[in-house]
Chain A
Amino acid sequence: MTSLLEMRSITKEFPGVKALDNVNLTVGTGEIHAICGENGAGKSTLMKVLSGVYPAGTYDGEIHYDGKLAQFSDINDSEDLGIIIIHQELALVPLLSIAENIFLGNERAKNGVMDWRETFRLTEDLLKKVGLSENPGTLIDSLGVGKQQLVEIAKALSKDVKLLILDEPTAALSEHDSQALLDLMLELKAQGVTQIIISHKLNEVRRVADSVTVIRDGSTVSTMDARKEEITEDRIVRDMVGRDMSDRYPPRPHRAGEMLMEVEDWNVWHPEHADRQVIRNASFNVRAGEVVGIAGLMGSGRTELVMSIFGKSYGKNISGSVKMHGQPVDVSTVGKSIGAGLAYVTEDRKSLGLILEETIQKNVTLANLPGVSKSGVISQGEETRVSEEYRQAMNIRTPSVFQKVMNLSGGNQQKVVLSKWLFSGPEVLILDEPTRGIDVGAKFEIYNIINDLSEQGKGVVMISSEMPELLGMCDRIYVMNEGALVGELTAAEASQEKIMSMIVTDVVDEPALGGAE
């Protein structure tokens, strides 16, 4: 079999770290090749090397594409040869139409005047190819993420793509949209488009990939060919993390104490669409020393539920009650929620959790400035002492607490956010995707911190999209779907299948979210 792409011994160094170390990647013509690896393993860096974001000369090793040595000096060079990347964050202009987006920078025009008829005709053809039945004049803004993804692919096809790279294409898609996208990938393969898919979802990898390369800590660990051998998810995971699944989660004795927080009949409406109920009659509770999980698909309302509780930071017409130690508490502002003993660690630490331009020290004390000040005057010595304490306790790897947070890795940033909330002295911590975007080692440390918190008798509510993580960490798991808590499982009875089946059953029984019925 001929190969379209061969990356040989790629090594890429950043100051102080070797991001890629002798990585080899061979992609056969006309196949779908999956690249698997934990966050921070080097997948994105490898793709940036391939597409010319890191130009030739800034890395060691060779790229052979279509039988020739390729030396791209920027992304245009690689696009000219038909290598196109669709990134996780879609790069569409929301207020332009589908047609305008597809031909952005590549306009069908005569002497600078747009040829709309040609543009629309070509767009219609492309949309047909990707199976999207939308008017080319529709604004991107009015499309869901799944359809936007298809527009991106149509855009790639408009450029005569030979090698299509999809970075986590289904991360933000619903089950249905994901399936449609995978079907499209197989369809494109039949038409001869070689594809690379980067994905965490191993069932999807298994479904579409002809071969799989696993990368760990910047090195190629293994390459498997599905046409020659059976590829199991277990094997991919083992290669990805370098150890068996069983010890990915540190053990913790179950010891639920007295009741800490009870939320009852929580209802929330959408902040902009007043007729849309986002959370429906949700009730849940957390005991001291307990880690309670909330499972559910993306968009099921998990974040909306906890943010609407924490200072009513989301939604409108919120009703329901929150009790701490059996007493009703006022959580109408963030300040009051903190006072009541709550802390919320956001899923979006960069835009909601941290002030990136500020130092670690200033971030750590932000939610509890009175804790380091007297009558409104901050004691800088006290502030340094406190943040230094957290730096050591949390093992934040940085030379000093005066380092700007933006210079830290994802895992260390997350530890800063956790420090901030621990310093506010909460009884219940709500952790929203606490390990998103951080590497395996740091994940393990975060799990240990969670266990320590439970040991200290704090209640933890943990939202996660990674089901194994919930199964490995929680004492109890609530299952959420379409704005309602549809089930509750103890650690002993919970399994991935049970959770999924609760979600699926619910979809059949209940009307769809957002319906104005």
Chain B
Amino acid sequence: MELADKNTDGAGKSLGAYLAGHLRDYGLLVALIAIMLFFQVVTGGTLLKPVNITNLFLQNSYIIIMALGMLIVIVAGHIDLSVGSVMGFIGALAAVMMVNWDWPVWMTIPVCLVAGAAIGAWHGYWVAYWRIPAFIVTLAGMLVFRGLSLWLLEGQSIGPFERSFQALSTGFIPDIIGMKRPNGTALIAGALAVILIVWMGLNQRARNRKYGMDDEPTMFFVARNVIVCGALFYVMYKLAWFRGLPNVLISMVVLTVVYAFITENTTLGRRIYALGGNEKAAKLSGIKTEKLTFLAFVNMGMLAALAGLIFAARLNTATPKAGFAVELDVIAAVFIGGASMSGGSGKIIGAVVGAFIMGVLNNGMSIMGIGIDYQQVIKGLVLLAAVFFDVYQKNKG
């Protein structure tokens, strides 16, 4: 028996019904803010001190950068378990190039990114063209590249690096108007970001109205923007009172915006979602599914390489343990951010917020002095709770 078409359109519904339909979108943001407030209180205000906010970004940048690539891999219906090892391997490779072989920084960085892309291509080749499950291919890759970084480093740590390389991670954008404290660049960037977010939000809203799309009630729109912009400017203001904008924050923001645009607004992005949603249907619609799968892994490898460089730059040394078990944090971030294991759904912004939730949990619990044992337990339960929430919502709706 065919059901009549369900009317789940937003038109003419109450605020409550709208909220219920979009609980996931708001929930993630609310969860992040709640977790931040919680740790702000229990750490006696340490969490949101300028220096700690700066640290939060520095500590989590590499996770966030890899979460961007992982989201795409997961949307395409696959997984990449090798990213931690690849990240460590590329860090080691960069160290060997710069310290042992005396390569200049400007040469090392592009070569390492290409090496990462090549590693991704290796994985992608087996997954896309031989249809070997990504879990197996990248599990193999995880072992291979863990082993190769040990071999490359001969079990030792290699460092330190030149200042110009360290700047990848620990550098800051200079104050363009020379206010020093607070840092003018940070304040201006904050103000510009707020204006941009509100302007884009209004545009989107006008467009939704025009085409009769699910319309967000004005109250929610205002509240959401006030909270997001308020939080954003607050963070920028705090950063301004330390050393300003970290370089890595800029790379992160730029990458996030670029990837969000690609996934949501381009034919390339749409095709990746279609591939993950129903590979056979996508293929019969003329989409080159193998090539897209291959490219998703190439991209992941390149981002893992970038993460490896940033991580090595931050520690100012490449160690054999770098990147150990990081793939789990990255994958967790993407799933907390609402992506589905079966592919076809998930958003870049979700993955980024998911990564921040993991990051704030790590940072907050460390400040509180909670042992690594409990930290793992709590992170595990948060992941399960987030995914349970998704599944529950889906079954109910």
When C-beta atoms are compared, the residue in chain A nearest to B277 turns out to be: A355
Return chain A residues, CB-CB under 8 Å to B345: 357
When C-beta atoms are compared, the residue in chain A nearest to B278 turns out to be: A355
Return chain B residues, CB-CB under 8 Å to A311: 284, 286
Return chain B residues, CB-CB under 8 Å to A403: 5-6, 8-9
- A448 in the interface (beta carbon within 8 A): no
Q: Which B residues from 261 to 285 make CB contacts under 8 A with A?
A: 265-268, 270-271, 273-274, 277-278, 280-285
Q: How far is the CB of A340 from chain B (nearest CB, A)?
A: 11
Query: Of the 9-residue stretches A85-93, A144-152, A178-186, A364-372, which lies at the interface with chain B?
Result: A364-372
Contact (A354, B212) CB under 8 Å given A16-B6, A311-B286, A397-B5: no
Report whether A17 and B267 are in contact in the complex, using a CB–CB cutoff of 8 Å. Answer: no
- A467 in the interface (beta carbon within 8 A): no
Interface string of B96-135 (1 = CB under 8 A from A): 0000000000000000000000000000000000000000
Query: Of the 9-residue stretches A94-102, A126-134, A167-175, A406-414, which lies at the interface with chain B?
Result: A406-414
Return chain B residues, CB-CB under 8 Å to A326: none
Q: How many residues of B contact A (CB 8 A)?
A: 37
Query: Of the 9-residue stretches A74-82, A246-254, A262-270, A377-385, which lies at the interface with chain B?
Result: A377-385
- B3 in the interface (beta carbon within 8 A): yes
When C-beta atoms are compared, the residue in chain B nearest to A370 turns out to be: B267
Report whether B282 and A16 are in contact in the complex, using a CB–CB cutoff of 8 Å. Answer: no
When C-beta atoms are compared, the residue in chain B nearest to A339 turns out to be: B286
Q: Describe A's contact surface by its main secondary structure.
A: mixed
Report whether A376 and B286 are in contact in the complex, using a CB–CB cutoff of 8 Å. Answer: no
User: Which residue of B1, B5, B214, B281 is within 8 Å of A40 (Cβ)?
Assistant: B1
Q: Which B residues from 170 to 223 make CB contacts under 8 A with A?
A: 207, 210-214
- A400 in the interface (beta carbon within 8 A): yes
Separation of A339 and B126 alpha carbons in the complex (Å): 29
When C-beta atoms are compared, the residue in chain A nearest to B211 turns out to be: A384
- A439 in the interface (beta carbon within 8 A): yes
Q: How far is the CB of A202 from chain B (nearest CB, A)?
A: 21
Report whether A338 and B286 are in contact in the complex, using a CB–CB cutoff of 8 Å. Answer: yes
Report whether B277 and A357 are in contact in the complex, using a CB–CB cutoff of 8 Å. Answer: yes
Report whether A334 and B9 are in contact in the complex, using a CB–CB cutoff of 8 Å. Answer: no
Return chain A residues, CB-CB under 8 Å to B273: 358, 362
Q: Which A residues from 11 to 47 make CB contacts under 8 A with B?
A: 14-17, 19, 39-40, 42-45
Report whether A354 and B267 are in contact in the complex, using a CB–CB cutoff of 8 Å. Answer: no
Report whether A409 and B3 are in contact in the complex, using a CB–CB cutoff of 8 Å. Answer: yes
Return chain B residues, CB-CB under 8 Å to A351: 278, 280-281
Q: How far is the CB of B158 from chain A (nearest CB, A)?
A: 41
Separation of A385 and B213 alpha carbons in the complex (Å): 12
Report whether A376 and B268 are in contact in the complex, using a CB–CB cutoff of 8 Å. Answer: yes
Report whether A355 and B270 are in contact in the complex, using a CB–CB cutoff of 8 Å. Answer: no
Return chain A residues, CB-CB under 8 Å to B377: none
Report whether B265 and A40 are in contact in the complex, using a CB–CB cutoff of 8 Å. Answer: no
Return chain A residues, CB-CB under 8 Å to B301: none
Return chain A residues, CB-CB under 8 Å to B163: none
- Name, among A311, A357, A362, A412, the residue most crowded by chain B CB atoms within 10 Å (CB to CB): A357
Separation of A43 and B1 alpha carbons in the complex (Å): 7
Interface string of B296-323 (1 = CB under 8 A from A): 0000000000000000000000000000
- A352 in the interface (beta carbon within 8 A): yes
- B11 in the interface (beta carbon within 8 A): yes
Q: Which B residues from 1 to 27 make CB contacts under 8 A with A?
A: 1-9, 11
Report whether B281 and A353 are in contact in the complex, using a CB–CB cutoff of 8 Å. Answer: yes
Report whether B278 and A356 are in contact in the complex, using a CB–CB cutoff of 8 Å. Answer: yes
Contact (A334, B285) CB under 8 Å given A358-B344, A378-B266, A378-B270: yes
Q: How far is the CB of B159 from chain A (nearest CB, A)?
A: 42
When C-beta atoms are compared, the residue in chain B nearest to A399 turns out to be: B9
Return chain B residues, CB-CB under 8 Å to A362: 270, 273-274
Q: How far is the CB of A374 from chain B (nearest CB, A)?
A: 10
- Name, among A351, A366, A397, A403, the residue most crowded by chain B CB atoms within 10 Å (CB to CB): A366
Return chain B residues, CB-CB under 8 Å to A370: 267
Report whether B4 and A14 are in contact in the complex, using a CB–CB cutoff of 8 Å. Answer: yes
- A73 in the interface (beta carbon within 8 A): no
Return chain A residues, CB-CB under 8 Å to B11: 399-400
Separation of A452 and B4 alpha carbons in the complex (Å): 26
Report whether B286 and A384 are in contact in the complex, using a CB–CB cutoff of 8 Å. Answer: no
Return chain A residues, CB-CB under 8 Å to B224: none
Return chain A residues, CB-CB under 8 Å to B5: 16, 397-399, 403, 407-409, 412
When C-beta atoms are compared, the residue in chain B nearest to A313 turns out to be: B284
Report whether A369 and B271 are in contact in the complex, using a CB–CB cutoff of 8 Å. Answer: yes
Separation of A387 and B289 alpha carbons in the complex (Å): 24
Q: How far is the CB of A88 from chain B (nearest CB, A)?
A: 13
Separation of A19 and B285 alpha carbons in the complex (Å): 34
Q: How far is the CB of A165 from chain B (nearest CB, A)?
A: 15
Interface string of A406-428 (1 = CB under 8 A from B): 01111110000000100010000
Report whether A358 and B277 are in contact in the complex, using a CB–CB cutoff of 8 Å. Answer: yes
Report whether B267 and A407 are in contact in the complex, using a CB–CB cutoff of 8 Å. Answer: no
Return chain B residues, CB-CB under 8 Å to A42: 1
Report whether A400 and B4 are in contact in the complex, using a CB–CB cutoff of 8 Å. Answer: no
- A335 in the interface (beta carbon within 8 A): yes
Return chain A residues, CB-CB under 8 Å to B4: 14, 16-17, 409
Contact (A381, B270) CB under 8 Å given A355-B344, A357-B344: no
Report whether A376 and B6 are in contact in the complex, using a CB–CB cutoff of 8 Å. Answer: no
Q: How far is the CB of A89 from chain B (nearest CB, A)?
A: 15
Separation of A376 and B269 alpha carbons in the complex (Å): 10
Separation of A42 and B1 alpha carbons in the complex (Å): 5
- A402 in the interface (beta carbon within 8 A): yes
Separation of A384 and B208 alpha carbons in the complex (Å): 10
Return chain B residues, CB-CB under 8 Å to A408: 5
- A344 in the interface (beta carbon within 8 A): yes
Return chain A residues, CB-CB under 8 Å to B284: 310-311, 313, 334, 344, 346, 352-353
Report whether B288 and A354 are in contact in the complex, using a CB–CB cutoff of 8 Å. Answer: no
Return chain B residues, CB-CB under 8 Å to A378: 265-267, 270
Return chain A residues, CB-CB under 8 Å to B288: 333, 335
Q: Which B residues from 342 to 361 make CB contacts under 8 A with A?
A: 344-345
- A373 in the interface (beta carbon within 8 A): yes
Separation of A194 and B128 alpha carbons in the complex (Å): 52
Separation of A157 and B231 alpha carbons in the complex (Å): 68
Return chain B residues, CB-CB under 8 Å to A17: 3-4
Contact (A366, B285) CB under 8 Å given A355-B344, A356-B278, A402-B214: yes
When C-beta atoms are compared, the residue in chain B nearest to A20 turns out to be: B1
User: Which residue of B8, B211, B214, B285 is within 8 Å of A367 (Cβ)?
Assistant: B285
Separation of A407 and B6 alpha carbons in the complex (Å): 6
Separation of A15 and B4 alpha carbons in the complex (Å): 8
Return chain B residues, CB-CB under 8 Å to A357: 277, 344-345
When C-beta atoms are compared, the residue in chain A nearest to B7 turns out to be: A399
Q: How far is the CB of B74 from chain A (nearest CB, A)?
A: 14
Separation of A276 and B41 alpha carbons in the complex (Å): 72
Separation of A370 and B268 alpha carbons in the complex (Å): 10
Return chain A residues, CB-CB under 8 Å to B282: 355, 366
Return chain B residues, CB-CB under 8 Å to A420: 285
Report whether A377 and B212 are in contact in the complex, using a CB–CB cutoff of 8 Å. Answer: no
Return chain A residues, CB-CB under 8 Å to B268: 376
User: Which residue of A15, A335, A358, A369 is within 8 Å of B6 (Cβ)?
Assistant: A15
Report whether A400 and B9 are in contact in the complex, using a CB–CB cutoff of 8 Å. Answer: yes
Separation of A335 and B289 alpha carbons in the complex (Å): 11
Separation of A351 and B287 alpha carbons in the complex (Å): 16
Q: How far is the CB of A282 from chain B (nearest CB, A)?
A: 20
Contact (A369, B267) CB under 8 Å given A355-B281, A355-B282: yes
Separation of A412 and B8 alpha carbons in the complex (Å): 16
7 CB-based A-B contacts, threshold 8 Å: A19-B3, A333-B286, A353-B281, A380-B265, A402-B9, A402-B213, A403-B6
The 3 closest A-B pairs by CB, nearest first: A17-B4, A355-B277, A45-B1
**Contacts A355-B344, A378-B265, A399-B9 given; 17 further ones with Cβ under 8 A?**
A17-B4, A313-B283, A334-B283, A334-B284, A344-B284, A355-B282, A357-B277, A366-B281, A366-B282, A373-B266, A373-B267, A376-B268, A377-B266, A384-B213, A403-B8, A409-B2, A438-B2
